[in-house]
Amino acid sequence: MPVGTQGTVKAVPQDVLESLGAEIILANTYHLYLRPGHEAIRRMGGLHRLMSWPRALLTDSGGFQVFSLSALRKVTDDGVRFRSHLDGSSHFFTPEHAIDVQIALGADIAMSFDECTEYPATRARAEESLRLTMAWARRSLDRFRAHLSRAPWADATGCGMQCFGIVQGGMYRDLRRQCAERLVEMDFDGYAIGGLSVGEPRELTLEMIAEVLPLLRADKPRYVMGVGYPEEIEQYARMGVDMMDCVLPTRAARHGLLFTSEGRLNIKNKQFAEDQGPADAACDCPVCRRYTRAYLRHLMQAGEALAATLNTIHNLAFYLGIMRRVRTEMDKAGNGE
């Protein structure tokens, strides 16, 4: 899932995302709640309509941004009080409020409110954090079920909006297991593994995914949040992960880092100054079909807005291409379930 933080995958228009084959994108509840505001978005018919995106949308719970971006957080059992990173104004997010905001945005998939446990965390800290996440998961799901009909596009027959639970537990295998089992009992529409890619070594990320994945129902979506590099997303998909999101392809693109079939390249390097080849000779994205490395480098050097657009289109095409290839190979091998 390309990440469209503020209701836009930075630098790329929606028609291009469609032509690249993006079926679902992610938007950030925290950002849209602060600006333009979830009630304004509800009045305008929901986020799909505001951004003119007819395909699927997933909103995160806001928890991760509250913990990573905002200032002066105060966490209690009830929720989190925090100050906006935009203007310092004070806000209070409870699981119920996080769900209300997501229902107002009207995405197809809402996430339960969780606390993303930092890394490293002591056992006692991870246990306490997990206790909070599990209590908040219950409250999130209850609120979701009770208020689902308030989605901007709900009609008399309801709507197809879903709510996913998030497995936390730090880097402790038994805590992860405990959380996964409890969430499966609660019967969410899908399950995410959160709190990974927070600075831990990659072997640990892999270990946690391998521990949790078999405990989650394979007939419901299994989503690993915030990963990863091209080789990682391929590996996780082959393990049975159905969904992933990461800012890497888009953020790296804006800094001139391109992912290619031959590895990463920094398009700003002088060696590309007169390079007449495409970013990736094996890529058939609209950027590689039309533009040279020399031109992409020039745009970066000149600080042109088109640099971000072209680089991002290529990186997204590369990431989506990996997933398409893996899906085809797994379907052929007959283990695509």
Catalytic residues: 60, 245
CB closer to Zn ion, 180 vs 283: 283
Does 314 participate in binding Zn ion (rule CB under 5 A)? yes
Query: Which residues are CB-neighbours of 8 under 8 A, at least 6 positions away?
Result: 51
Shortest Å distance, C-beta 227 to Zn ion? 22
Residue count, binding to Zn ion (CB under 5 A): 5
State the nearest-atom distance from the C-beta of 51 to Zn ion, in Å.
24
Which lies closer to Zn ion via its Cβ, residue 32 or residue 283?
A: 283
Q: What are 88-94's contacts with CB under 8 Å, separation 24+?
A: 91/33, 91/34, 93/62, 93/63, 93/66, 94/139
Show the site string, 272-291: x = touches Zn ion by CB under 5 A, - = not: -----------x-x-xx---
Tell me the two tokens of residue 53.
């995106």
**Residues within window 169-208 making contact with Zn ion, judged by CB under 5 A:** none
What residues does 160 pair with on adjacent strands?
Answer: none
253 is an interface residue for Zn ion by CB under 5 A: no
Edge to edge, the sheet with strand 71-75 lists: 71-75, 80-83, 90-93
Does residue 258 belong to the site contacting Zn ion (CB under 5 A)?
no
**Range in contact with Zn ion (rule: CB under 5 A) among 32-40, 169-177, 181-189, 312-320:** 312-320
Of 56-64, 162-170, 296-304, 313-321, the window that binds Zn ion (rule: CB under 5 A) is 313-321
CB of 259 to Zn ion, least distance (A): 9
Cβ-based nearer residue to Zn ion, 140 or 311: 311
Q: How many other CB atoms sit within 10 Å of the CB of residue 218?
A: 11
| Contact residues for 60 (Cβ-Cβ < 8 A; gap 6+) | 26, 27, 28, 29, 30, 111, 225
Q: From the CB of 319, what's the least distance to Zn ion, in Å?
A: 11
Distance, in Å, from the CA atom of 321 to the CA atom of 329, rounded to the nearest integer, reads 12
Q: How do 162-167 and 71-75 pair as beta strands?
A: unpaired
- The residue among 119 and 291 lying less far from Zn ion, judged by its C-beta, is 291
Q: How far is the C-alpha of 20 from the C-alpha of 320, rounded, in Å?
A: 8
Q: What angle do CA 69, 70, 75 make, to 5 degrees?
A: 120
Nearer Cβ to Zn ion (67/259): 259
- Compute the least distance from the CB of residue 314 to Zn ion, in Å: 4
Binding residues for Zn ion, rule: CB under 5 A, are 283, 285, 287-288, 314
